[in-house]
Structure 1
Amino acid sequence: MKKTFKLDHPKIKVPRVVDSVKHDIRKFLKRERKNSLPPGAKYWGFDCKFGQSEEDAVDVHLSSLTKKIDELVAKNIMTLYVEIIAKAIEVGKTQPAQEE
């Protein structure tokens, strides 16, 4: 999911638009978690980027994404860029130690 959200709308108030943005993100995550895992993977992980625009986007943890949205809204920034990429996570596989 790579999407730029505009928070200013002539008829809808900003808090309702922010709620719909958060809902879209949760809906995307739910849909991605339903996909079948590739062999050897235990669960889905997500790489997230967030910022005012695509150029300003920085890596953030998924759990702090909604807090970051609230922070930008508190600063009266009316555009948000969200990028979420799903990746399969394999648990229990360790990389062999390098010998010198």
Structure 2
Amino acid sequence: MKKTFTLEHPKIKAPRIVDSIKHDIKKFLKKERLKSLPSGTQYWGFDCKLGQSEETAAEVHVSLLTKGIDELVANNIMTIYVEVTAKAMVAVEKLPAQED
């Protein structure tokens, strides 16, 4: 999902558009997580970028997308670029800590 959202609309107020953006992201994540996994993988991971434009977008963790959107809106930024890419992941087991 690569989208640039604008918060300017003649009839719809900005907080409602922000809610719509967050809903679109959650809907995309849910749709991707329901897809069948390739063999040898355990879960879907996501690479996310967020910023004012595609050139200035920075990588963020998927759990920080909504907070990042809120920060952009608080800074009066009227365009928001969101990029979310799904990737199949393999769980890595943590080794127990060795005691001396």
Q: TM > 0.5 between the two?
A: yes
The CA distance in 1 between the partners of 2:58 and 2:14, in whole Å, is 23
Alignment of 1:6-25 (within 5 A): 6-25=6-25
Which sits farther off after the overlay, 83-92 or 36-45? 83-92
1:27 aligns with 27
Q: Which amino acid aligns with 2:38?
A: P
Q: Confirm whether residue 64 of structure 1 aligns to residue 68 of structure 2.
A: no
- Sequence identity percentage: 70
Identify the residue that residue 79 of structure 1 maps to in structure 2. Answer: 79
Per-residue Cα deviation, 1:30-56 (whole angstroms, up to 9, x for no partner): 000010000011000000001000000
Kindly report structure 1 stretches of 4+ aligned residues shifted beyond 2 Å. Answer: none
Instruction: Kindly state the Cα deviation for residue 91 of structure 1 after the two structures are TM-superposed.
Output: 1.6
| Separation in structure 2 between the aligned mates of residue 91 and residue 45 of structure 1, nearest angstrom | 10
Look up the SS of the partner of 1:59 in the other structure.
Answer: strand
Please tell me the residue identity of whatever aligns with 1:61.
H
CA distance in 1, matches of 2:88, 2:26: 18
In the superposition, the TM-score normalised over structure 2's length comes to 0.90
Distance (Å, rounded) in 1 between the aligned partners of 2:39 and 2:91? 12
> Any unmatched runs of 5+ in structure 2?
94-100
* Other structure's SS at 2:38 match: coil
Unaligned runs of at least 5 residues, structure 1: 94-100
Give the number of equivalent residue pairs.
94
Tell me the residue number matched to 1:91. 91
Q: What is the alpha-carbon distance in structure 2 between the residues aligned to residue 2 and residue 8 of structure 1?
A: 19
